[in-house]
Amino acid sequence: MTVEEYAQVLLGSGLQLVQDGYYRNRDGRTGYKAIYRNSEAYYWYSVSGTEIPVAPDEVALAILNAARTVNRENAYFNRKSRRGFEATVRAGEHSFMLNAAPDPPF
């Protein structure tokens, strides 16, 4: 999977919200996180430096922006030895931590 393919999933139909909420990082800044699922896998992301919900299509447009910086983009194996995807993208004032896997992150 690539960042572009991840964005296309977020722009597609069939995503179901599983869970969302806010977090605080080590510096005390608030961010937003969400977990979605479709028929194939779970997709979750977090957005730094925001106190409002960020919809999947907004994340997709930000991570597809020509001015973005992809800091990390790679496959990994989860606790069940199943292949997943992780990436970190900087776009504008926010960092987007992107993940996808066949299993939920909890």
Contacts 24+ apart (CB under 8 A), 26-35: 35/104, 35/105
- For residue 44, the model assigns a pLDDT of 98
List the domain boundaries for the chain.
3-101
CA dihedral defined by 60, 77, 36, 51, rounded to 10 degrees? -70
- For residue 80, the model assigns a pLDDT of 85
- For residue 79, the model assigns a pLDDT of 84
Q: How far apart are CA 42 and CA 15, in angstroms?
A: 9
One pLDDT digit (tens) per residue for the chain, 106 residues: 999 999 999 999 899 999 999 999 999 999 999 999 998 899 999 999 999 999 999 999 999 999 999 999 999 998 889 999 999 999 999 999 999 999 999 8
The predicted model scores a pTM of 0.93
Edge-first strand listing for the sheet containing 94-101: 16-24, 30-37, 42-47, 94-101, 83-91, 69-77
- Identify the CATH number of the domain defined by range 3-101: 3.30.200
